[in-house]
Amino acid sequence: MWTRWWLWPLVAVCTADFFRDEAERIMRDTPVIDGHNDLPWQLLEMFNNRLQDERANLSTLAGTHTNIPKLRAGFIGGQFWSVYTPCDTQNKDTVRRTLEQIDVVQRMCQMYPDTFLCVSSSEGIRTAFREGKVASLIGVEGGHSIDSSLGVLRALYQLGMRYLTLTHSCNTPWADNWLVDTGDSDAHSQGLSPFGQRVVKELNRLGVMIDLAHVSVATMKDALRLSRAPVIFSHSSAYSLCTSRRNVPDDVLQLVKERESLVMVNFYNNYVSCTNEATLFQVADHLDHIKNVAGAGAVGFGGDFDGVSRLPEGLEDVSKYPDLIAELLRRNWTEAEVRGALAGNLLRVFEAVEKVRDLTQAPEEEPIPLDELEGSCRTQYGYSGAPSLYHRQGLLLASLAPLLLCLWFL
Ligand SMILES: *[C@@H]1O[C@H](CO)[C@@H](O)[C@H](O)[C@H]1NC(C)=O
Ligand SMILES: *[C@@H]1O[C@H](CO)[C@@H](O)[C@H](O)[C@H]1NC(C)=O
Ligand SMILES: [Zn+2]
């Protein structure tokens, strides 16, 4: 039969359908958890967050990569919605804008309760799966959103933040971003500053995932070394296939493997092929590469839908996920490996992060030193009255010295 050349096109068509059907069968009980989607930013840009505007109806929303029918067709069962505020808000209204983007995600869940279930735990994701809803979680994209404040960090946790991307495409006073590695930005902290290390400790204590998309390699290595729990790259691809500094180099993939962490692959053409054009097959190459270097347990999806202007042929919007899964099956990924990449790996990492959480530990209190804060429009309450511990110890010694001298002479 195989010698009948005229059968080949038929075989090709049938197997294509076979893998696509298999993908759908698997995704019906293991839907995809995507690490990064910028729909909330689109809602701000298009409607200034007015969800009741008719054109903002998520059932019919046009011109975006994401809407309710597309999420359904793509078997999206979990979504980390990106709470993003651009770097030019740093030292300005960044906290206000972060809160507004959290609010728009929460209102999305309230307006479309049949579609979205806002959750903040791995158990919540499983509940949404059972109910056939899109588990909706908050990932805050950019350390500038905490405005160098552990108090803001904790408040964002209370509002549902379950990952924090340590930087966007700008340094914070306490962590360096990827543009340091391209030479477009000066190294400031050489990775994480002492305050940045306290941020990582506090994220561990709270049970918030540490996201290393957008950070410099030095920051990646510092965080991977320091964190007591696995970390994620919510939307980054493989550097050895496309040498963009937004991607993860192989030596870091090795650390990802050791730390049982996760790389959720970004679909942006310029991070997939390093050109303006890319295909679904090239995205599958990235998934294969990460699997080969870091193991199948390190692979996930972070499409960056609605955050990018160019997407691969075959992955034009969130509805196309089953085609990508079909391609992995065609490449001999086992069903278990595929289920891991879809959801199991993220759930494993999230559960490990929840396990490390220890709210009985004392919170980090030591603020960033005043001279490391930037921006001229800040007030200095707290700093003027209560110098930092380090200064206080110095002052204490200085003020005690005369007393000690007196005691000596007595
Ligand atoms: C969105 O549009 C659909 C169909 O046109 C309608 O049934 C639904 O009530 C609308 N939803 C909201 C929240 O306006
Ligand atoms: C998948 O496995 C089959 C059978 O073992 C083999 O013939 C085929 O070459 C493999 N395909 C890929 C892409 O590795
Ligand atoms: Zn991003």
Among candidate residues 317, 330, 247, 243, the one with its CA nearest the CA of residue 281 = 330
Handedness of CA 331, 333, 334, 340 (dihedral sign): negative
* CATH class of the domain defined by 23-378: alpha beta
Is the Cβ–Cβ distance between 288 and 252 less than 8 Å? Answer: no
Handedness of CA 351, 355, 358, 363 (dihedral sign): negative
- State the pLDDT at residue 408: 52
Domain boundaries, the chain: 23-378
Query: Is 34 an active-site residue?
Result: no
CB atoms within 10 A of CB 188: 17
- State the pLDDT at residue 16: 63
- State the pLDDT at residue 394: 47
Query: Is 184 an active-site residue?
Result: no
Distance 340 CA to ligand 2 centre (A): 20
Among candidate residues 159, 172, 179, the one with its CA nearest the CA of residue 200 = 172
Residue of 65, 214, 286, 289 with catalytic role:
214
At position 84, the amino acid (one-letter code) is Y
Q: Phi then psi for 35, rounded to 5 degrees?
A: -80, -15
Among candidate residues 214, 170, 173, the one with its CA nearest the CA of residue 194 = 173
Distance 333 CA to ligand 2 centre (A): 10
Residue with the nearest Cα to atom 12 of ligand 1?
57
Distance 131 CA to ligand 1 centre (A): 21
Virtual torsion, Cα 32, 33, 34, 35, nearest 10 deg: -160
**How far is it, in rounded angstroms, from Cα 187 to Cα 208?**
26
Is the Cβ–Cβ distance between 78 and 32 less than 8 Å? Answer: yes
Distance 59 CA to ligand 1 centre (A): 6
Query: Is 38 an active-site residue?
Result: yes
Query: Is 371 an active-site residue?
Result: no
pTM over 0.85: yes
Query: Is 285 an active-site residue?
Result: no
Q: What are the tokens at 144?
A: 């500038």
Q: Please, what is the angle between helix 250-258 and helix 280-294, to 10°? A: 60
Residue with the nearest Cα to atom 1 of ligand 2?
332
Nearest listed ligand to the Cα of residue 303:
3
Residue with the nearest Cα to atom 6 of ligand 2?
332
Handedness of CA 158, 347, 101, 382 (dihedral sign): positive
Task: Say which residues have a Cβ less than 8 Å from residue 235's Cβ, sequence separation at least 6.
Answer: 35, 36, 213, 264, 265, 266, 302, 303, 304, 307
Q: Please, what is the angle between helix 217-226 and helix 194-206, to 10°? A: 50
Distance 313 CA to ligand 2 centre (A): 24
Residues of the chain with pLDDT under 50: 1, 388-392, 394-399, 402-406, 410
Using CA atoms, how far residue 340 sits from 207, 334, 345, in Å, is: 21, 10, 5
CB atoms within 10 A of CB 224: 18
Given the structure tokens 């097959």, which residue do they identify?
281
Q: What is the DSSP string of 84-133?
A: E--GGGTTTTHHHHHHHHHHHHHHHHHH-TTTEEE--SHHHHHHHHHHT-
Query: Is 391 an active-site residue?
Result: no
Query: Is 65 an active-site residue?
Result: no
- State the pLDDT at residue 71: 98
| Adjacent-strand bridge partners of 386 | none
Distance 55 CA to ligand 1 centre (A): 10
Using CA atoms, how far residue 309 sits from 110, 214, 218, 247, 394, in Å, is: 29, 17, 28, 18, 53
Is the Cβ–Cβ distance between 341 and 296 less than 8 Å? Answer: yes
Q: What is the DSSP letter of 279?
A: B
Q: Is the distance from the beta carbon of residue 243 to the nearest atom of ligand 1 less than 6 Å? A: no
Distance 257 CA to ligand 1 centre (A): 45
**How far is it, in rounded angstroms, from Cα 222 to Cα 199?**
12
Atom of ligand 1 nearest to the CA of 60: 2
- State the pLDDT at residue 356: 97
Atom of ligand 2 nearest to the CA of 331: 13
Atom of ligand 1 nearest to the CA of 58: 1
Q: For ligand 2, which residues put their CB under 6 angstroms from it?
A: 331-332
**How far is it, in rounded angstroms, from Cα 233 to Cα 63?**
27
- State the pLDDT at residue 49: 98
The full length of the chain comes to 410
Q: Is the distance from the beta carbon of residue 111 to the nearest atom of ligand 1 less than 6 Å? A: yes
Residue with the nearest Cα to atom 11 of ligand 2?
331
Handedness of CA 192, 105, 322, 268 (dihedral sign): negative
Q: Is the distance from the beta carbon of residue 110 to the nearest atom of ligand 1 less than 6 Å? A: no
Residue with the nearest Cα to atom 3 of ligand 1?
59
Q: How many helices (H) and strands (E) does the chain have?
A: 16, 9
Nearest listed ligand to the Cα of residue 50:
1
